[in-house]
Amino acid sequence: MNELLYGLKFHDRSVSKELIFELLPALELYYSSWEDREGGDSFFVVYAETPEAFAEIRKRFVAAAEEWKPLGLDVGGFEDLTIRKEEWSEVWKRYFHVIEIAPNLVIKPSWLEYRRKGSEAVVEIDPGMSFGTGQHATTAFCLRKAAELAGRPGFKSMLDAGCGSGILAIAGALLGYDPVDAFDYDPEAVAVAAENIGLNRVSGKIGLTQADVSAYRPVAGGYDLALVNILAHVLKANARHIAGFVRPGGRLALAGILTAEFDSVSEAFTRCGCAELERFTEKEWTGGLFRRD
C-alpha cells in the first residue's frame, strides 16, 4: 500500500477568487487550500496517489491555467511535493518558521520548539487560525518598532489598531508595555486574537475590543505608541482621528500601505500635525514611523 501523496503547490492571485474554484472541479482534481490573509495570496495543492497520475494531472492543470489566463486567472509559484498521507492535513506548516524580529523579540509557530535566549519576548502564534504571523512586511515593520521602543523612557502604553491575530498586542505585552489595548472591526479577527492572547498567557494584560477605527476611543491623553496596520484609504479618511490615538510626542507606526500610496498617506498625517521620522519598504509594501507634534 502506497503511503505517499504527490502534490503540486501553487498560489492564486486572481482578482476573482471564483475562477480557481471553477477550474479545479472542472478538471476533477482533488485539492486542499489555505489563505495568507496578510499577503492576499491563496495557496492550493492538487494531488494524486501515484507518480504516474500526478504527472498527468500536473500537465493538465498547467495547460488549463494557461488557457484561463485571458479570463483573469493568475496562478504561479509551482512547487512539487511528496508527503506522507498522515501529514497531508498539516502540509501548510512547512511554510512557517521561527522569526527573529529583533534581539529582544521572536515569533514562534505554536508547534515548533524554541529555546529562549536571555530575556527576549517569544510570541507563540498558530498561523492556521491567524490573520497575522509576522512573516508579512507590514506586520514585521510594526513588530520591529515595538521592539525598538520597548523600555525607553516615556514609552509604556501601546495600542494595536486593526489587530487581526493579536500578534502586535501580544508582543507589546510580552515586551513590557502596560497598558496594552487592541481592537479590530472584524468579529472573527477579535475571536482569533482572544484565542492567541490566551495561548500566550497575557489575557490579563491586554484590553481587546471590537470597534471600527473611526469610532474607537483611545485612553485619555493618548498612547505612547500606536501600531496601525490598516489599508491606505482607511488611514487617509481617518487621519486626524488616528493621529489622536497617541499623546503629543508619541509614536505612530503606520503599515499595510502599498508603496505607491505611501506618499499620500504621509501627506495626510503631516497635515494633521505628525512628522514622518522614517520609512521602510519591502517589495510593494511601505511602513512609516511618525511623531505626533
3-state helix/strand/coil string of 231-252: CHHHHHHCHHHHHCCEEEEEEE
Tell me the C-alpha distance between 277 and 105, whole Å.
22
CB neighbours of 201 closer than 8 A, spacing ≥ 6? none
274 contact partners, CB below 8 Å, separation of at least 6: 243, 252, 290, 291, 292, 293
Residue 193: per-residue pLDDT: 92
pTM over 0.95: no
Q: What are the residue ranges of CATH 3.40.50.150 in the chain? A: 96-292
Q: Provide the residue count of the chain.
A: 293
Distances (CA, A) of 239 to 18, 234, 244, 266: 34, 8, 9, 10
DSSP string, the chain: ---EEEEEEEEE--SSTHHHHHHHHHTT-EEEEEEETTTTEEEEEEEESSHHHHHHHHHHHHHHHHHTGGGT--EEEEEEEEEEGGGGGGGGGGG---EEEETTEEEEETTS-----TT-EEEEE-GGG-S--S-SHHHHHHHHHHHHHTTSTT---EEEES-TTSHHHHHHHHHT-SSEEEEES-HHHHHHHHHHHHHTT-GGGEEEEE--TTT--PPTT-EEEEEEE--HHHHHHTHHHHHTTEEEEEEEEEEEEEHHHHHHHHHHHHHTTEEEEEEEEETTEEEEEEEE-
Span(s) in the chain for CATH 3.30.70.100: 4-94
**Domain 4-94 class?**
alpha beta
What pLDDT does residue 201 have?
Answer: 96
Q: Residue 122's CB: how many other CB atoms inside 10 A?
A: 16
Distance CA 111, CA 93 (A): 9
pLDDT tens for the chain, 293 residues long, are 568 888 899 989 888 878 898 888 788 887 877 766 555 668 888 888 889 999 999 999 999 999 999 999 999 999 998 888 766 666 667 667 889 999 999 999 888 889 999 999 999 987 554 456 677 778 899 999 999 999 999 999 999 999 988 999 999 999 999 999 999 998 888 998 999 999 999 999 999 999 999 999 999 999 999 999 988 999 999 999 999 999 999 999 999 888 999 999 999 999 999 999 999 998 788 999 999 99
Nearest to 144, CA basis, from 154, 153, 157, 134: 134
Check the CA dihedral 276-282-286-291 and report its sign: negative
- 96-292 belongs to which homologous superfamily? Vaccinia Virus protein VP39 (3.40.50.150)
CA distance 196 to 193: 5
